[in-house]
Structure 1
Amino acid sequence: MSPSRRSPAPDKACIDAVDLARSVAAEVGRPEWVGAPLDPEVEDTRLVTHYFTCLDPAYPGWTYAVTVVRASRAKDVTVNEVVLLPGEGALTAPEWVPWKERLRPGDVGVGDLLPVEEDDERLIPGYAQVPDSELDAEGVDQQMVWELGLGRRQVLSETGREQAAERWYNGESGPRSPIATAAPARCATCGFLTPLAGELRQMFGVCTNEYAPDDGKVVSLDHGCGAHSEVRTPVSKNDPAVPVVDELGYDHIVFDDTAELELVSSDS
């Protein structure tokens, strides 16, 4: 077992180089930003780090650290490095997060490229690689082949479909959005809905009403809005009603038998 390493003996010249360390810290920052000296730390033989409180308003809780060194048999002390170190409660940058975890929907802009990893669980290999020339020669339906994934290197996996369905259904184009709860009817009965292809057609379609807020977007079948195809202009209640004249009915009048009726001639 190797003997335990002894702590290096403090070098007096390096310990006393407080003014040198302060002047270097002032050059890096400003003289008024270098505060009171703190306890120095002996790093190694003839290697000492001096600490000063940082008074810069932009760096509360930080400390200037100036490391000085003296070469063997040398009389002068020189500066090795000077840095700012964060202390307890110091304002620091958040922990670095890989770009893949920082990425959010809508971050990809014009000219941006978003690489897809080879093991992306949302994708699986296509069923086959069929040249267009062979398809044309055999007369295969190009649209059918495209929907099945033939000719594409990768297609959407079951996991990818489930993630997309959950994201769409729980989003603003799902049944729980405010506009859907106030809608007069569901998208499933709207003439402007175009169903998707494949399994997703059971739950989703694309809105094609240019006046609807979801035009060109995927919506759930139980979504809805005020631009439904069955909405009609309501009858105005302010229009006066047409009078109805009863020409067939009559009123039954009962006269008192004791009353004397006087016939009045129209000539009188």
Structure 2
Amino acid sequence: MTSKPDADARLIGAHDLALAALREITPASSIGPAAGYLPEDDGSVSLRFENRLAGYPGWYWTVTIARVDDEDPTVLEVELLPGEGALLAPEWVPWAERLAEYRAHQAELAEAAAADGDGESPDDELDDDADDDLDEDLDEDEDDLDEGDHVSDILHAGDVDGVDIDELDDSVAEADADATEDDDAGALDEDAGEVDEEE
């Protein structure tokens, strides 16, 4: 990089000071060799070093150094800055502007759909077709039911996943009856025991 005539040679040569400042914020392995300098308008100098961090191609470690009167050089700022051709994020667009662009695009789509003659978007047509198919399926299910059939009879008729519901109900009822008989027998035994103790 080119230097200005009034650039301070002591600032340009303060590489050791700049490297020490960089090592306080980043590992030494991320700092490459010196990559020139840039004289600033206020008389300070920005020393640049190649960056070895992954994901930042074309960026440089930049250390801005200044000197007041006859004092020793001192570090003003340490940062990672993009060079020419560096990969940058797109400019930030406020949410209100993005929302306005989205709404304008939706209005254009609606106008285009209205110009086609039916006034419906392709999505609306797909929704209508799905509703028609669902109505047809429901009508077919109703036709399959005889007038004398009841919902409860249909739910409990035959097997469900290989299990006979009616048989299952009978076995549960028998188990409940057996449990009741066992409880009654146990209660009788306890009563007999109490009578023996009183005698």
Q: TM-score range, shorter-chain basis?
A: 0.5 to 0.7
Is the Cα contact below 8 Å between 1:11 and 1:45 reproduced in 2?
Answer: no
1:167-206 paired onto structure 2 within 5 Å: 169-173=120-124, 175=125, 177=126, 180=128, 183=129
Residue equivalent to 1:77: 73
Residue equivalent to 1:68: 65
In structure 2, what is the Cα distance between the partners aligned to 1:36 and 1:49?
15
- Of structures 1 and 2, the one with the larger relative CO (CA 8 A, separation 6+) is 2
Residue equivalent to 1:28: 25
Structure 2 residue runs without a partner (length 5+): 145-199
Q: 2:6 aligns to what SS in structure 1?
A: coil
Residue equivalent to 1:93: 89
In structure 2, what is the Cα distance between the partners aligned to 1:64 and 1:28?
11
Structure 1 residues 82 and 69: alpha-carbon distance in aligned structure 2, compared to 1, 3 A threshold: same
Number of equivalent positions: 131
Task: State percent identity of aligned pairs.
Answer: 34
In structure 1, what is the Cα distance between the partners aligned to 2:41 and 2:90?
32
Kindly provide the CA deviation profile for residues 200-219 of structure 1, in whole angstroms up to 9, marking residues without a partner as x.
xxxxxxxxxxxxx6xxxxxx
| Residue type at the aligned position of 1:71 | V
Pairwise CA distance, 1:70: 0.6
Residue equivalent to 2:132: 225
Kindly provide the CA deviation profile for residues 46-86 of structure 1, in whole angstroms up to 9, marking residues without a partner as x.
41110011101132221111110011132x00011111112
1:123-142 paired onto structure 2 within 5 Å: none
In structure 1, what is the Cα distance between the partners aligned to 2:96 and 2:52?
38
Q: Which has the higher helix share?
A: 2
Kindly provide the CA deviation profile for residues 183-225 of structure 1, in whole angstroms up to 9, marking residues without a partner as x.
4xxxxxxxxxxxxxxxxxxxxxxxxxxxxx6xxxxxxxxxx53
| Residue type at the aligned position of 1:226 | D
Structure 1 residues 81 and 226: alpha-carbon distance in aligned structure 2, compared to 1, 3 A threshold: same
What's the C-alpha RMSD, in Å, of the aligned pairs? 3.7
Q: 1:226 aligns to what SS in structure 2?
A: helix
Residue equivalent to 1:250: none
In structure 2, what is the Cα distance between the partners aligned to 1:171 and 1:90?
42
Residue equivalent to 1:11: 8
TM-score by length of 2: 0.53
Structure 1 residues 11 and 61: alpha-carbon distance in aligned structure 2, compared to 1, 3 A threshold: same
